[in-house]
Amino acid sequence: MTSELESSLTSMDWLPQLTMRAAIQKADGQGGHGPGAAKKGALLDPSTTLDQEEAQQHKDGKPPYSYASLITFAINSSPKKKMTLSEIYQWICDNFPYYREAGSGWKNSIRHNLSLNKCFLKVPRSKDDPGKGSYWAIDTNPKEDTLPTRPKKRPRSGERASTPYSLDSDSLGMDCRISGSASPTLAINTVTNKVALYSPEQDGSDSPRSSLNNSLSDQSLASVNLNSVGSVHSYTPVTSHPEPVSLQQPPPQPQYSMPERDKQLLFSDFEDLSASFRSLYKSVFEQSFSQQGLMGMPSESTQQTHTSCSYQHTPSSSISTHPHSGQNNLTNSIASGGGPVPLSHSAHNSPHGQHLSHTQHPQQHPTHTQHPSQHTQHSQHPSQHTQHSQHPSQHTQHSQHPSQHHQSLSHQPHPPQQQLSCTTGHLADWYPNLDALKESCRIASSYNWADVDLSPFQGLKESMRQAELNNWSLEPTQIADLCSSINQFFARTGVIQPQGSVQPPVCHSSMHPSKPSQHINTGNMYMDSRQNMPPLMGPPGYPHMPPMSSAGPTMTGHHAQMNQQHMISPGNFQIRRMPADDIQDDFDWDSIV
CB atoms within 10 A of CB 53: 10
Q: Is residue 76 close enough to count as binding DNA by CB under 7 A? A: no
Measure the CA–CA gap between 475 and 464, rounded to whole angstroms.
13
Among 18, 24, 25, 39, indicate the residue that binds DNA (CB under 7 A). Answer: 39
Q: Is residue 206 close enough to count as binding DNA by CB under 7 A? A: no
* Position 397, amino acid: Q
Among 53, 159, 582, 588, indicate the residue that binds DNA (CB under 7 A). Answer: 159
**For residues 63 and 102, is the Cβ–Cβ distance under 8 A?**
no
Question: What is the dihedral sign for C-alpha 327, 427, 468, 126?
Answer: negative
Among 18, 21, 40, 247, indicate the residue that binds DNA (CB under 7 A). Answer: 40
Measured torsion, CA atoms of residues 287, 289, 294, 295, in degrees rounded to the nearest 10: -30
Q: Is residue 116 close enough to count as binding DNA by CB under 7 A? A: yes
Question: What is the dihedral sign for C-alpha 350, 356, 359, 360?
Answer: positive
- Write each residue from 241 to 280 as x if it is in contact with DNA (CB under 7 A), else as -, in one continuous string: ----------------------------------------
Phi, psi of 7 (to 5 degrees): -65, -35
Where does this chain touch DNA (CB under 7 A) — which range of 29-37, 397-405, 548-556, 584-592?
Answer: 29-37
Among 78, 84, 344, 383, indicate the residue that binds DNA (CB under 7 A). Answer: 84
**For residues 533 and 543, is the Cβ–Cβ distance under 8 A?**
no
Where does this chain touch DNA (CB under 7 A) — which range of 65-73, 358-366, 369-377, 492-500?
Answer: 65-73
Q: Is residue 91 close enough to count as binding DNA by CB under 7 A? A: no
Q: Is residue 150 close enough to count as binding DNA by CB under 7 A? A: yes
The residue (of 170 and 468) whose beta carbon lies closer to DNA is: 170
* Position 314, amino acid: T
Q: Give the bridge partners for 84, in sequence order.
A: 135
Q: Is residue 423 close enough to count as binding DNA by CB under 7 A? A: no
Where does this chain touch DNA (CB under 7 A) — which range of 128-136, 292-300, 301-309, 370-378?
Answer: 128-136
Where does this chain touch DNA (CB under 7 A) — which range of 35-43, 51-59, 357-365, 456-464?
Answer: 35-43
Among 52, 56, 108, 231, indicate the residue that binds DNA (CB under 7 A). Answer: 108
Q: Is residue 67 close enough to count as binding DNA by CB under 7 A? A: yes
Angle between helix axes 273-280 and 434-446 (nearest 10 degrees) is 30
Q: Is residue 16 close enough to count as binding DNA by CB under 7 A? A: no
Phi, psi of 89 (to 5 degrees): -55, -50
Q: Is residue 113 close enough to count as binding DNA by CB under 7 A? A: yes
Q: Is residue 35 close enough to count as binding DNA by CB under 7 A? A: yes
Q: Is residue 85 close enough to count as binding DNA by CB under 7 A? A: yes
**For residues 320 and 311, is the Cβ–Cβ distance under 8 A?**
yes
∠386-388-394 over CA atoms, to 5°?
150
Q: State the minimum distance, in angstroms, from the CB of residue 154 to DNA.
A: 4
**Count of chain residues binding DNA (CB under 7 A):** 58
Measure the CA–CA gap between 284 and 282, rounded to whole angstroms.
5
- Write each residue from 277 to 306 as x if it is in contact with DNA (CB under 7 A), else as -, in one continuous string: ------------------------------
**For residues 188 and 141, is the Cβ–Cβ distance under 8 A?**
yes
Measure the CA–CA gap between 415 and 445, rounded to whole angstroms.
27
Q: Is residue 154 close enough to count as binding DNA by CB under 7 A? A: yes
Three-class SS of 28-59: CCCCCCHHHHHHHHHCCCCCCCCCHHHHHHCC
Q: State the minimum distance, in angstroms, from the CB of residue 123 to DNA.
A: 9
- Write each residue from 360 to 379 as x if it is in contact with DNA (CB under 7 A), else as -, in one continuous string: --------------------
Closest residue by Cα to residue 303 from 232, 228, 233, 235? 228
Among 101, 128, 151, 590, indicate the residue that binds DNA (CB under 7 A). Answer: 151
Q: Which residues bind DNA (CB under 7 A)?
A: 2, 5-6, 8-13, 34-36, 39-40, 42-43, 65-68, 84-86, 89, 105-106, 108-109, 111-116, 122, 130-134, 136, 150-151, 153-154, 156, 158-160, 162-164, 166, 168, 170-171, 174-175
